[in-house]
Structure 1
Amino acid sequence: MKQKKNLIAALALGMTSFAYADVTLYGRIHMDLESTKAGTTETPSLSKVQNDASRIGFKGSEDLGNGLKAIWQVESGVSVDAGGGTWASRESFLGLSDATFGTLKAGNFLVPYDDLHYIAGNNFQQGTGISNDAAMWANGGDLKTGGFDTRLGNSISYQTPKYKGFSSRIQYSLTTDATNGKEAKSNGASVVSANVLYDDGPLRVGYGFQNNRDMQGLSSNFYEDGTAHMLAAGYVFGDFYLGGLYEHIKLENINNSGNDRSRNYYGAMASYTAGLNVFSAQFGKAASWTGAAGVADSGARMGSIAYNRILSKTTQVYALYTLMHNDDNAGYVLGSNAVQPGAGAVMSKQHSIAIGMWKNF
């Protein structure tokens, strides 16, 4: 009898392992050597080996029948330059997916506003790193300072199926109230983000919208509500790709004054592929904040040029140069989130040279 029980247990264990044999291990290791300088000629350069959003993840699905699947993913950031990382700190979720009805998931993931970044973003550095145009586009990724390009936990998202090139996604997130830690709309901030995308053949066109709501507690009363609208488009002309975007951001009730401020951003990028060589350039301009709570001379400009060498389908090396120029009262920072305009702590001119490599697996 004991041998029979052991045999049944062994068979059950084997069946469990077989049922989850479709689990996929994946990730990316991305590092570069950077030399960054800000300010006057007397300011020393900062050189470092930089980890650029390296990650490792596990994902899988289970066929539930009639076209329905259970899907899951756990993705963690890893600091391969110095060690460390946080479990499930990146795209992590549990959900249901159906080819006819779409995908519903809950967890921690980037907002739909970010989904459109690939149309006109810094693809030559995988949308991360010192050349990341999200330093100005979307006003960065920190909700506390009015940013919109962010990853949010406590989120629910619905993604439509793709139909003749069209798709859409909407996400609702309950963020944690900085005052009492409760995760409820009545007690803390919340975010609604959505997009509509057409991507078929050589043409890509996307519209993104996001509303950051009830942000007083989270932002230490810097602003109450924030709204962002973005229109992006890109087109493939043989070996050339051209992309561009326009964005309008509005922040309301600045510092409990009852006054608002708004800002426009314009961006463009181009790339040319010659065999295994890719040459790219990108430029973005953030206008000054205007309105009753506007800040004069708070605009900035940022540009990058890059060369990528394709070593395989999953491996590339690159070299790039990035320059940012802040107006007198601007607060944008290369490779980071902006500070509040007028803070006076950011150097007007920042530039960086980077040589890097990424490997997907």
Structure 2
Amino acid sequence: MNKKFIALAIAAAIAPAAFAADEVVLYGQVNVALVADNSKDSNFGIDNQGSRLGVKGTESLGNGMNAWFQIESGVAPDDASKAGFATREGWVGLKSSEFGGIQLGRGKSAYTKAYEEFDPWYQDDSFGINGFDQLGYTGNAALVPDRGDGGYKYRTDNTARYTYSMPGLDVMVDYSVGENKNKIAGQKEATNLSYYVKGTIADWWYIVGANMARNANFRDTNGDGKGDTWAPGAKLNNVLLGGGTSFGDLAIGAGFQRHVYSETGYGTNKRNSVLVNAMYNLEGNSLYGGIIMADKLKYGSVKMADSRYIRYGLGLAVPMSKRTNIVTEYMATDYSGTQKDKSYFSVGAYHSF
């Protein structure tokens, strides 16, 4: 065997390892809490709270241009069967300080990132995950879009993203395709357009977000609250406007969302939601709370009875070190109709590395 070839192969194998030591970062969170949840069969449990393990890296290409990647996997310390590789984020892209960045892959949509600006919660059942969802309406679960495929796209697959940042302004635009054309005769391709703009004016910050989904699986036919069937001509539009400021140790924020969903043979439903939250630095600890108020779901020209809800919560995060917090949180949702009210209390340890 050619010894020179062997030497080159060994050098090639060593080079990525040397690069990895300089440019690749391993990061993650291990978050586990004791939970009391009245919406489950068992009220008490030990639950994972968004634990994750990721790796990311960059390479300078010169002239202010960098290549980068990120792979982030969900891990479940309480139940390993619920974990999966690259289930959270998976991206590769190019970025320039002058022209912005372009990336391809999968992850939280731009719209998700917009409303998570209003979410200080640690727990899995938080404002960021459930607060701006179009929560189900008793007797009409099959008609009301819910998290997963309706309400918004929390994470999007097959996504191209453009980002741009300058002092006082951040912009993010996503376009995702469902790759499902021709799975059903006459079915159109599912698409999702999502954007996020964050800026500052004096001491205030503002957020503008929008999500526009077309021809996705919005219809719930099995009663699990998630879309599972292609909805002909489905159109889902969400708009989010909000902002906030700080006064010493007190930070406040407020947001408004407009939701409009239509489908061939079904019609149109609409709902408005308002969120107000606050966070206070209490001698190094974070005390935070918020409330979301959603008005009645309007189907056509009629506001549906018993479809209003209020969601509220309170939390306290006590730092034990720079990377470890002990967090206590309470979240509840009150419905105006016959649907069972929900409450969720948790005490947990949250460690970042």
CA distance in 2, matches of 1:142, 1:217: 10
* CA–CA distance in structure 1, aligned partners of residues 62 and 259 of structure 2: 44
Say whether residues 1:180 and 2:194 are aligned partners: no
TM-score (norm 1): 0.84
Counterpart among 141, 147, 150 of residue 142 in structure 1:
147
Post-superposition shift, 1:327?
1.7
Deviation of 1:88 after TM superposition, in Å, equals 0.9
Distance 2:160 2:187 in 1: 18
Partner in structure 1 of residue 343 of structure 2: 351
Alpha-carbon offset, residue 44 of structure 1: 7.7
Q: Does the CA contact (< 8 Å) of 1:32 and 1:49 recur in 2?
A: yes
- Structure 2 partner of 1:105: 103
Q: 1:299 aligns with which of 308, 325, 328?
A: 308
Deviation of the 1:178 alpha carbon: 9.0
Letter aligned with residue 322 of structure 1: M
Give 3-state SS (helix, strand or coil) of 1:195's partner: strand
Say if 1:267 and 1:354 are closer, same or farther in 2 by CA, change over 3 A: same
Instruction: Return closer, same or farther for 1:46/1:216 CA change in 2, 3 Å cut-off.
Output: closer
Counterpart of 2:327 in structure 1 is: 318
Cα deviation, 1:277-327, whole Å, max 9, x if unaligned, reads 111111111111114175222110011111110122221111122221012
Question: What is residue 156 of structure 2 aligned with on the other side?
Answer: 152
Q: Which blocks of at least 5 consecutive residues in structure 2 are unaligned?
A: 136-145, 220-226
Matched residue, 2:174: 171
Which residue does the alignment assign to 1:232?
Answer: 242
Which amino acid in the other structure matches residue 206 of structure 2? V
**For structure 1, which runs of at least 5 residues remain unmatched after alignment?**
330-345
Decide whether aligned partners of structure 1 residues 180 and 274 sit closer, same or farther in structure 2, where only a CA change above 3 A counts.
Answer: same
Deviation string, structure 1 residues 84-143 (Cα, Å, up to 9, x no partner): 31111111111111111111001011111111234322x131xx5123353241427635
Tell me: CA distance 1:223–1:327, structure 2 relative to 1, closer, same or farther (3 Å): farther
Residue in 1 that maps onto 2:143:
none
Amino acid at match of 1:20: A
Instruction: Give the secondary structure class of the aligned counterpart of 1:139.
Output: coil
Runs (4+) off by over 6 Å: none
SS in 2 for 1:116: helix
Q: 1:12 matched to which residue of 2?
A: 12
Give the counterpart of 1:272 among 280, 291, 313: 280
1:48 aligns with 2:45: yes
Comparing 268-277 and 98-107, the one that deviates more: 268-277
Give 1:66 deviation, angstroms: 1.0
| Corresponding position of 2:259 | 249
Rounded Cα–Cα distance in structure 2 between residues aligned with 1:79 and 1:178: 34
The 1-side partners of 2:242 and 2:129 are apart by 14
- Larger mean CA deviation between 187-196 and 261-270 belongs to 187-196
Q: Provide the residue aligned with 1:64 in structure 2.
A: 61
Q: TM-score, normalised by structure 2?
A: 0.85
What is the percentage of aligned positions where both structures have the same residue? 22
Structure-1 separation of matches of 2:290 and 2:166? 31
CA distance in 2, matches of 1:278, 1:238: 13
What code does the residue aligned with 1:102 have? G
How far did residue 11 of structure 1 move? 3.2
In 1, Cα distance between equivalents of 2:4 and 2:260: 69
Q: What's the CA shift for 1:201?
A: 7.6
**Alpha-carbon distance, 1:57 to partner:** 0.8
- The answer as to whether partners of 1:74 and 1:88 remain within 8 angstroms in 2 is yes
Which has the larger strand fraction? 2
CA–CA distance in structure 2, aligned partners of residues 12 and 206 of structure 1: 47
What is residue 337 of structure 1 aligned with on the other side? Answer: none
Kept in 1: contact 2:269–2:298 (CA 8 A): yes
SS at match of 2:80: coil
Provide the rounded CA distance (Å) in 2 between the counterparts of 1:301 and 1:210.
23
Q: Give the aligned partner of residue 261 of structure 1.
A: 269
Q: Distance in 1 between matches of 2:315 and 2:296?
A: 27
Taking the aligned partners of 1:200 and 1:311, their CA distance within structure 2 comes to: 34
CA deviation profile, 1:8-27 (whole Å, cap 9, x unmatched): 44333333322333111111
Work out the CA distance in 1 between the residues paired with 2:31 and 2:275: 25
Matches within 5 A, 1:71-86: 71-84=68-81, 85-86=83-84
* Separation (CA, whole Å) in 1 of partners of 2:336 and 2:233: 22
Question: 8 Å contact 2:187–2:232 — kept in the other structure?
Answer: no
Which protein has greater RCO, CA pairs closer than 8 Å, 6+ apart? 1
CA contact (8 A) 2:311 2:334 kept: yes
SS in 2 for 1:88: strand
